[in-house]
Chain A
Amino acid sequence: MIELLNVTKTYNAGKQSEFTALKGIDLAFDANRVIVLKGPSGSGKTSLLSIVGCMARPTSGRVRIDGRELTSLPERFLSEVRRSSFGFVFQSYHLIKGMTVLENVMIPAYPIGVKRRLLKERAMALLEKLQIASKAVQDVQTLSGGEQQRVAIARALINSPAFIIADEPTAHLDTDLARELMAILADLHAEGRTILIASHDSLVFESEIVDQVVELRDGRVVGHC
């Protein structure tokens, strides 16, 4: 279970460009659910995902995952939580150019020190599952948008996380590819993972796999169903 208690996030505090992206957010997400954060651009969706995924610390407030308080954890523990509990699918994928598909998928597992053979097998199995194994040795920049997203999903799954966080996953996809993506996310949900998606695409938040929709505007929760 993910709990956010009175979470606020201010960027560039004390500077002229100071901006508060989240204002006193109180939310709770049950495990094994598909949750969508919806709202217009600048509503705070990505900031909220970053805080839940331990990629940023809230300026104030608390975040708990399965009852464990994360806000006050030192950085190295947060890295460990990010690595073991979360899989990220970024809006623009953020794959590392100049590296192969297989290498990109394996990167999150490098700090764990898993045996190379095992890691390679696991990565290949994920690429097979996402039907992109034939491109394993290809450089990622040679792939299409949809293929890059599959690689990003495989990378998110390499450490078998309980939570998958996807930021605007359909932003660069056409309708067919977006539907394919939702099907993949439905499979991941069926495996028992919690899926947290930020999107303002109706194809996502109206999807039948979605259990909970949280609507944000100007850094506040304005709707919850």
Chain B
Amino acid sequence: MKWVERQRYFVDFTLSSLGRRKGKNASLLLVYTLIVFLVSSVMFFSSALRKEALTLLDEAPEMIVQRTLAGRHELVPLRYAKEIRGIRGVRSVEARLWGYYYHPASRSNYTVMAREPFEHGDDEAVVGDGVLRTWGTSSGNQLTLRSHSGEAIVLKIAETFSASSDLVASDLILISETAFRRLTGLPEDFATDLVVVVRNPAECQTIAEKINRMLPDTRPILREEILRTYASLFDWRSGYVIVLLSGAVLAFFIFAWDKATGLSAEERAEIGILKALGWDTSDILGMKFWEGCVVSLIGFLAGTILAYLHVFFAPAPLFAHALKGWAILYPTFELNPSVDLYQIGILFFLTVFPYAFVTMIPAWRVAITDPDEVMR
């Protein structure tokens, strides 16, 4: 009980001591909060984005088969679908038609995709929110596209994708197969790639190897590989931003070191008085530890909470462009709150504890000196 009471006294003294040096502590707290805010924002954003993307890609096909020519993606003859269907363990093979459309007026690149069955007519399209924003049209209007042969194709917007699929569908224009072939000039007996569904997902790798042996110019891509690529892409992006922020973090440490390690004459005298009045060196260090903890904990909590609000309740204006990087289109979508406790824990240990310990060093130097000498 005595220990608890002692700590209460030290905390009380610490709080009053912080109040007595408002200017110094407020500036430290402000810079501390800012740095934690920046780093946590990047962490929250990239973690939520990765989770969002992976959740959506979870519904992606288990295997996609592309054809390559001279190492580049090439159209797949539809007869390949028949051959793959013949492999034991393959449930179905579906040809996909998709490509890109560059719209000079909006200087944007869109993904165009055909879906069969398509619930709308050949002169209709379902588009993502990004298309509406950038094309300069709104639902109910028309899109005028220029086909491969120079002919104008007018598509009526029949529907738009829900906001929840914005991340992958923001730049998407979905049309019928007929419209797609008319727009792109894709020959009748070719597709962009093939989607393969297998009976037992555990056999994906084996079937991919069989496809590759049977059709050597193909490249089967497994969903697992796509998920890994996305994960590393988002890790890379967040790492990139953190590298950019490292200058700010370094500046913070220099500032914190300077502010926290230098004791003013008043603080030195105060430590001398406390020692003279019977405080032990460990009491002084305990008091300084609490002081460091209070500043760093408040800074950490404020920074983290502000970052949470910034990322999940505001559209993360500081990093959105750098982290989303979705071709030319930047989808506007709200991220579902997602917090990686492990990362928060790492940030906590890298900021709160070093700071609390750093602030103890100068106090320790003074505290081990005779009070008489300090007070003189």
Interface of A with B (CB < 8 Å)? 11, 47, 50, 53, 55-57, 75-76, 79-80, 82-84, 86, 88, 90, 94, 96-99, 103, 107-108, 110-116, 155, 159
Neighbouring B residues of A99 by C-beta, 8 Å: 16, 20
Contacts A88-B277, A108-B277 given; does A103 touch B16 at CB 8 Å: yes
Q: How far is the CA of A11 from the CA of B373 in the complex (A)?
A: 9
Min Cβ gap B254→A in Å is 29
Neighbouring A residues of B10 by C-beta, 8 Å: 110
Contact A75 B368 (CB under 8 A): yes
Give which listed residue, B5, B269, B283, contacts A116 with CB less than 8 A: B5
Min Cβ gap B270→A in Å is 6
Neighbouring B residues of A97 by C-beta, 8 Å: 20
**Which of chain B's residues has its CB closest to A79's CB?**
B280
Contact A94 B283 (CB under 8 A): no
Since A50-B370, A110-B6, A111-B280 are in contact, a sample of 19 more A-B pairs with Cβ atoms closer than 8 Å, ordered by chain A residue number, is A53-B276, A55-B275, A56-B371, A57-B370, A79-B279, A80-B278, A80-B280, A90-B276, A90-B375, A94-B273, A99-B20, A107-B274, A107-B277, A110-B279, A111-B6, A111-B278, A112-B2, A113-B5, A115-B5
Neighbouring B residues of A50 by C-beta, 8 Å: 370, 372
Neighbouring A residues of B282 by C-beta, 8 Å: 76
Q: How far is the CA of A99 from the CA of B273 in the complex (A)?
A: 14
B281 at the interface (CB under 8 A from A): yes
Neighbouring B residues of A155 by C-beta, 8 Å: 277
Contact B280 A94 (CB under 8 A): no
B103 at the interface (CB under 8 A from A): no
Q: How far is the CA of A99 from the CA of B9 in the complex (A)?
A: 14
Contacts A55-B370, A99-B16 given; does A113 touch B9 at CB 8 Å: yes
B8 at the interface (CB under 8 A from A): yes
Q: How far is the CA of A67 from the CA of B100 in the complex (A)?
A: 96
Using C-beta atoms within 8 Å of the partner chain, give the interface range for chain B: 20 to 34
B13 at the interface (CB under 8 A from A): yes
Interface of B with A (CB < 8 Å)? 1-6, 8-10, 13, 16, 19-20, 269-270, 273-283, 368, 370-373, 375
Interface of B is mostly: helix
**Which of chain B's residues has its CB closest to A9's CB?**
B372
A–B Cβ pairs within 8 angstroms, 19 of them: A55-B370, A55-B371, A55-B372, A57-B370, A76-B281, A79-B278, A79-B279, A79-B280, A79-B281, A83-B279, A94-B273, A94-B276, A96-B270, A96-B273, A107-B277, A110-B13, A111-B280, A116-B8, A116-B9
Q: How far is the CA of A47 from the CA of B375 in the complex (A)?
A: 12
Q: How far is the CA of A167 from the CA of B343 in the complex (A)?
A: 56
Min Cβ gap B3→A in Å is 7
Q: How far is the CA of A38 from the CA of B96 in the complex (A)?
A: 104
Q: How far is the CA of A57 from the CA of B372 in the complex (A)?
A: 9
Q: How far is the CA of A116 from the CA of B2 in the complex (A)?
A: 11
Q: How far is the CA of A114 from the CA of B6 in the complex (A)?
A: 8
Neighbouring A residues of B1 by C-beta, 8 Å: 113
Q: How far is the CA of A97 from the CA of B270 in the complex (A)?
A: 9
Contact B20 A98 (CB under 8 A): yes
Q: How far is the CA of A116 from the CA of B283 in the complex (A)?
A: 18
Give which listed residue, B275, B372, B373, contacts A79 with CB less than 8 A: B275
Neighbouring A residues of B2 by C-beta, 8 Å: 112-113
Contact A111 B372 (CB under 8 A): no
**Which of chain B's residues has its CB closest to A108's CB?**
B277
Q: How far is the CA of A57 from the CA of B4 in the complex (A)?
A: 32
**Which of chain A's residues has its CB closest to B20's CB?**
A98
Neighbouring A residues of B276 by C-beta, 8 Å: 53, 55, 82, 88, 90, 94
Contact A56 B370 (CB under 8 A): yes
Neighbouring B residues of A90 by C-beta, 8 Å: 276, 375
**Which of chain A's residues has its CB closest to B368's CB?**
A75
**Which of chain B's residues has its CB closest to A114's CB?**
B5
Neighbouring B residues of A83 by C-beta, 8 Å: 277-279
**Which of chain B's residues has its CB closest to A156's CB?**
B277
**Which of chain A's residues has its CB closest to B374's CB?**
A55
Neighbouring B residues of A96 by C-beta, 8 Å: 270, 273
Q: How far is the CA of A94 from the CA of B271 in the complex (A)?
A: 11
**Which of chain B's residues has its CB closest to A95's CB?**
B273
Q: How far is the CA of A103 from the CA of B14 in the complex (A)?
A: 12
Contact A111 B279 (CB under 8 A): yes
Q: How far is the CA of A96 from the CA of B373 in the complex (A)?
A: 18
Give which listed residue, A80, A82, A113, A116, contacts B277 with CB less than 8 A: A82
Q: How far is the CA of A110 from the CA of B8 in the complex (A)?
A: 9
Q: How far is the CA of A76 from the CA of B286 in the complex (A)?
A: 14
Give which listed residue, A80, A107, A112, A113, contacts B13 with CB less than 8 A: A107
**Which of chain A's residues has its CB closest to B272's CB?**
A94
Q: How far is the CA of A84 from the CA of B20 in the complex (A)?
A: 28
Neighbouring B residues of A113 by C-beta, 8 Å: 1-6, 9
